[in-house]
Amino acid sequence: MGLFSKENRATFLAPLGVNNPVTVQVLGICSALAVTAQSEPALVMGFSVTIIVALANVIISLLRNTIPNRIRIIVQLVVVATLVTIVSECLKAFAYDVSVQLSVYVGLIITNCILMGRLEAFAMANGPWESFLDGLGNGFGYAIILVVVAFFRELLSAGTLLGFTVIPESFYELGYLNNGLMLMPPMALIIVGGIIWAQRAKNPELQD
């Protein structure tokens, strides 16, 4: 089987669209609401989760035949916790401001349902390369939603993107106002809901 065979491409691409972990499987919602008030933390968060899912998938996939079934959750947690700690320390070393903004949510990646879901559902039953692609795909699928939500929230709540002012001053002089509700997590939930709505309207096979 080739490295980029049809199945492998589907493994990578499905989580970006019709099998998105956030909008279709509705996993990882908690952090999607918490870190999306601004684009920068959302980008970093999406990137961190992608790395951790991909690497954890590879490691568990390599170990999958040696892990006793009864303690597999503990083993998975140890692997994930190690990776999360490494990523967290890297963030503190190289991107301290963002790691302060993300605060506990980096540590809480351990409890992100996407991680355990992929390890249990995919890495325990597939080879390391397929698991790596699956982890990348799911990480990117999660990151895309985070970035889209953060785009709307930052643009409408502060008029900026990645910290740069986008909405010109003349708009404010005409009476335009920033939307304070966008700073609050409920609005992130409504935006995620809007994305789910649009996605299901486009893909009839997702409608139940």
- Assess 189 for contact with another protein (CB under 8 A): no
- Assess 199 for contact with another protein (CB under 8 A): no
Cα 131 to chain centroid, rounded = 17
In this structure, what DSSP letter does residue 28 have? Answer: S
Residue number, 58 or 150, with CB nearest to another protein: 150
**Contact, 132 vs 148, CB < 8 A?**
no
**Cα gap 14→104, rounded to integer Å:** 30
- Assess 184 for contact with another protein (CB under 8 A): yes
CB atoms within 10 A of CB 120: 14
Which span sits near another protein by CB under 8 A: 8-16, 88-96, 117-125, 182-190? 182-190
Q: How far is the CB of 130 from another protein (least distance, A)?
A: 38
Q: b vs e for 15-48, b when ≥16 Cβ sit within 10 Å of the residue's Cβ?
A: bbbebbbbbbbebbbebbbbbbbbbbbbbbbbbb
**Cα gap 140→85, rounded to integer Å:** 20
Which span sits near another protein by CB under 8 A: 65-73, 102-110, 134-142, 176-184? 176-184
Q: Is the dihedral of CA 93, 74, 108, 137 positive or negative?
A: positive
Site for another protein (CB under 8 A): which residue of 4, 96, 172, 197?
Answer: 197
Q: How far is the CB of 183 from another protein (least distance, A)?
A: 9
- Assess 181 for contact with another protein (CB under 8 A): yes
- Assess 188 for contact with another protein (CB under 8 A): no
- Assess 177 for contact with another protein (CB under 8 A): yes
Q: In the stretch 135-154, what mask flags binding to another protein with x, by CB under 8 A?
A: --------------------
